[in-house]
Chains A and B, each alone.
Chain A
Amino acid sequence: MPQRTHDPVETRTLAVLVNNEPGVLARVVGLFSARGYNIESLTVAETDKAVGASRITIVTTGQPVILDQIKAQLDRIVSVRRVIDVTLDPAGVQRELALIKVRSTGQDRIEALRVSEIFRAKVIDTTLQSFIFELTGASEKIDAFCELMRPLGLVEVSRTGVLSIHRGPESS
């Protein structure tokens, strides 16, 4: 590894535009495991059927030199069309969606509903003793919501991982 070991670790969101072909996810993920890079979150789906393109969004951490390595290594994969560093893009938007199940009754149930309103979460399912909330936003917002729900009966969380896009009329 390069010498500047005192550089701080940063978090980056990378949008990796790839050909939607068999094994492409394995190539991208395999690179991270083979070279010992971190994956904090990962989302993938086809985004343009007509041209066979998929978008993989990866949140990763590392020192700036390592992050540059990760981008260069990703770029080298033959199936990769482009690598966009969303974090470095001032017009980059990042969002995550979460489904959060909370089980409680009485005062806790009322409090859970009240907090969900503050966070503009949607109730998408309810029983007499539980809610499922749907929440969209920055990952930190979802983290904060889950922390608040923990003492109020948090049962289960399902998250999409970060998605990203470039603001304005142009493509990224």
Chain B
Amino acid sequence: MDVVGSPILASTLSGAEIVVQALKDQGVQHIFGYPGGAVLPIYDALFAEPAIQHVLVRHEQGAGHMAEGYARATGKVGVALVTSGPGATNIVTPLVDALMDSVPIVVISGQVPTHLIGSDAFQEADTVGITRSATKHNWLVKNVEDLARVIHEAFYVARSGRPGPVLVDIPKDVQFAKAAYVGPKGLRPKTYHPAGSPDPAKIAEAATLMARAQRPVFYTGGGVVNAGPEACQTLRALVRETGFPITSTLMGLGAFPASDPQWLGMLGMHGSWEANHAMHDCDVMICVGARFDDRVTGRLDGFSPGSKKIHIDVDPSSLNKNVLVDVGVVADAGLALEALLNAWRARKPKPALKPWWDQIDAWRAKRSFAYRPSDTVIKPQYAVERLFALTKDKDPYITTEVGQHQMWAAQFFGFDKPNRWMTSGGLGTMGYGLPAAVGVQAAFPDALVIDIAGEASIQMMMQEISTAVQYRLPVKVFILNNEWMGMVRQWQQLLHGERYSHSYSEALPDFVKLAEAYGAVGLRADKPADLDDAIKEMIAVDRPVIFDCRVAKTENCFPMIPSGKAHNEMILGDEETRGAIDEEGKMLV
């Protein structure tokens, strides 16, 4: 008798084996996870599995952020594996983080056996209930026959359209039960149809507006990075051929090179003077893959009052959500940019942009990121500047925690390539940076990966340095240690009458000793004169490093659009802060 077809298709597998086979068929090479009772069968199937490297984390939140960092750096789907109950609840924060920042991750969670669901069994949590609003979609697989299909669908949903996190919850009995395996080919959820090509009429409208513009600006976001390197290339071509200035959100950094003369710097609350003023005064705004977030727009009724707005987004619900636009294009950013580029080339307009660029140069002359240098203390901005200068030839990957250091990193580190910048934008999750860096380093073991951190944030996921040590992932944690929750202190100074309520860390670990205790390398610098050598040493060490960079303690992050103000009401420094935020602004976050 002839046996036809692949041996895998012919045989039945256990649910746990189906999970592993499906991951392999999805091209997964790394998963970040933590075992427990409800996922033991899957761990058993992973035992001595050569195709998949499992990275054992120290906390499931770490696994989620590692999967995020991995996804953002590689453009692939990140995968995390956790047990039921506390394992699943510990990964809720990364799920929401990935949802806000459109990061494709697949989380597989174990669940108590189906006959115990609903009985408050040991380590039972209503995981699909808890994560319903934390995911793009989630599944509880009660029948092993559905398992392979659901996992393939999960990958498809995570990476397509507007990418995002998904979760597949698998009861333990389903992991033991047997079924025939089905491969990923042609498996798509019937009811899910992400947008693809743009409507040509909308593109024509957009191109016409652009051709007539006198004061245009591109405002791009993480959606361009998500659309892939090719989309970023198309963006570059379009920006250069139009001669328009370009700014981007925090999430979009690197899609367009920061070293290019048409680059205005990041926009938004701590964005550059020229970027925010260009947004305010422009006559045509071309928003690509960004979502008019409140950190970007400032006060809505003062947001770019005189402009025609073009908005390209793969998610129809992003259009007209916060800001009404004139031309809405629902499409993949890469395809829409390509169509726009072709439309532009066909029209061959010669816009007279000289007066606009003169105005922009006048704004640039404000040098809004300037700070008062010091020979005695390390200014945090100086530290990032030096870090950039000493690493830029090494094509570094930068992650951050959340706070002032994050904003200084965005302001002073120039990104010329996409997928080099991993930060928690929408959710603003302290603790994101170290695990994200570990995830990036797992994907690119030879790359220089640096987490620009704050001393408060780093302690939220500190334990993941142990993961880095275990897998010899030489991440560098560069702590701008100001002893304060600096961003909180800044707001208390500006908004709460300098009453610094619980924002000072009176007890901090000795980060050098801590590094050594974990088996990493600890370095410290507290004088500007020593900084360069210490940074060079950090780069030279082929092991995980925690760098305790002692910086000025009460430096504020400027420029700043105070809460409740418009782009053209931004302030440049401490002198202007008194009374800058009114009672209504105080209510905002």
Q: List the B residue with the shortest CB-CB distance to A51.
A: B190
Out of A30, A78, A80, which one reaches B136, CB within 8 Å?
A: A78
Interface size on B, residues (CB 8 A): 23
For the complex, what is the distance from the CA of A68 to the CA of B317, rounded to whole Å?
A: 8
- A6 contacts chain B at the CB level, 8 A cutoff: no
Q: List the A residue with the shortest CB-CB distance to B315.
A: A76
Chain A 72-103 near chain B by CB (<8 Å), digits 1 or 0: 11011111110000000000000000000000
- A128 contacts chain B at the CB level, 8 A cutoff: no
A19-27, A40-48, A131-139, A158-166: which lies at the interface: A19-27
A3-B301, A76-B315, A78-B192 known; A69 vs B133 contact (CB < 8 Å): no
Q: List the B residue with the shortest CB-CB distance to A64.
A: B320
Whether A2 and B189, one on each chain, are in contact in the complex, defined by CB atoms closer than 8 angstroms, is no
- B191 contacts chain A at the CB level, 8 A cutoff: yes
A23-B128, A30-B133, A65-B324 known; A78 vs B140 contact (CB < 8 Å): no
- B323 contacts chain A at the CB level, 8 A cutoff: yes
Task: Report the minimum CB–CB distance from A164 to chain B (whole Å).
Answer: 20
Contact partners of A78 in chain B: CB under 8 A: 136-137, 157, 189, 191-192
For the complex, what is the distance from the CA of A76 to the CA of B160, rounded to whole Å?
A: 12
Out of A19, A26, A75, A79, which one reaches B317, CB within 8 Å?
A: A75
For the complex, what is the distance from the CA of A65 to the CA of B128, rounded to whole Å?
A: 31
Q: List the B residue with the shortest CB-CB distance to A68.
A: B320
Q: List the B residue with the shortest CB-CB distance to A27.
A: B132
Chain B 293-305 near chain A by CB (<8 Å), digits 1 or 0: 0000000110000
Whether A73 and B140, one on each chain, are in contact in the complex, defined by CB atoms closer than 8 angstroms, is no
- B319 contacts chain A at the CB level, 8 A cutoff: yes
Out of B128, B132, B316, which one reaches A76, CB within 8 Å?
A: B316
Q: List the B residue with the shortest CB-CB distance to A79.
A: B191
Q: How many contacts between A and B, using CB within 8 angstroms?
A: 54
Task: State the main secondary structure of chain A at its contact with B.
Answer: mixed
Interface size on A, residues (CB 8 A): 24
By CB atoms of chain A within 10 A, which of B140, B157, B191, B323 has the most? Answer: B191
Whether B191 and A2, one on each chain, are in contact in the complex, defined by CB atoms closer than 8 angstroms, is no
For the complex, what is the distance from the CA of A68 to the CA of B140, rounded to whole Å?
A: 31
A1-B322, A4-B324, A80-B191 known; A73 vs B157 contact (CB < 8 Å): no
- B129 contacts chain A at the CB level, 8 A cutoff: yes
For the complex, what is the distance from the CA of A24 to the CA of B12, rounded to whole Å?
A: 31
Whether B316 and A72, one on each chain, are in contact in the complex, defined by CB atoms closer than 8 angstroms, is yes
For the complex, what is the distance from the CA of A27 to the CA of B131, rounded to whole Å?
A: 11
Out of B128, B192, B316, B321, which one reaches A2, CB within 8 Å?
A: B321
For the complex, what is the distance from the CA of A19 to the CA of B190, rounded to whole Å?
A: 9
Whether A69 and B317, one on each chain, are in contact in the complex, defined by CB atoms closer than 8 angstroms, is yes
For the complex, what is the distance from the CA of A34 to the CA of B321, rounded to whole Å?
A: 15
Whether A26 and B129, one on each chain, are in contact in the complex, defined by CB atoms closer than 8 angstroms, is yes
For the complex, what is the distance from the CA of A3 to the CA of B191, rounded to whole Å?
A: 33
Contact partners of A30 in chain B: CB under 8 A: 132-133
For the complex, what is the distance from the CA of A78 to the CA of B192, rounded to whole Å?
A: 5
Whether A75 and B157, one on each chain, are in contact in the complex, defined by CB atoms closer than 8 angstroms, is no
Q: List the A residue with the shortest CB-CB distance to B157.
A: A78
For the complex, what is the distance from the CA of A76 to the CA of B190, rounded to whole Å?
A: 13
Contact partners of A80 in chain B: CB under 8 A: 191
Contact partners of B132 in chain A: CB under 8 A: 23, 26-27, 30
For the complex, what is the distance from the CA of A81 to the CA of B315, rounded to whole Å?
A: 16
Whether A69 and B321, one on each chain, are in contact in the complex, defined by CB atoms closer than 8 angstroms, is yes
By CB atoms of chain B within 10 A, which of A4, A34, A72, A78 has the most? Answer: A78
For the complex, what is the distance from the CA of A80 to the CA of B324, rounded to whole Å?
A: 25
Q: List 16 A-B contacts (CB under 8 A).
A: A1-B322, A2-B300, A2-B322, A2-B324, A3-B324, A4-B324, A18-B191, A23-B128, A23-B129, A23-B140, A65-B320, A76-B315, A78-B136, A78-B189, A79-B191, A81-B190
Of all A-B residue pairs in the complex, the 4 with the closest CB atoms, nearest first, are A72-B317, A78-B137, A81-B191, A72-B316
Chain A residues proximal to chain B, CB less than 8 Å: 1-4, 18-19, 22-23, 26-27, 30, 34, 65, 68-69, 72-73, 75-81
Extra A-B contacts (17), CB below 8 Å, given A2-B320, A26-B132: A1-B322, A2-B300, A2-B324, A3-B323, A4-B324, A19-B191, A23-B129, A23-B132, A34-B133, A69-B320, A69-B321, A75-B317, A76-B315, A76-B316, A78-B157, A78-B192, A79-B191
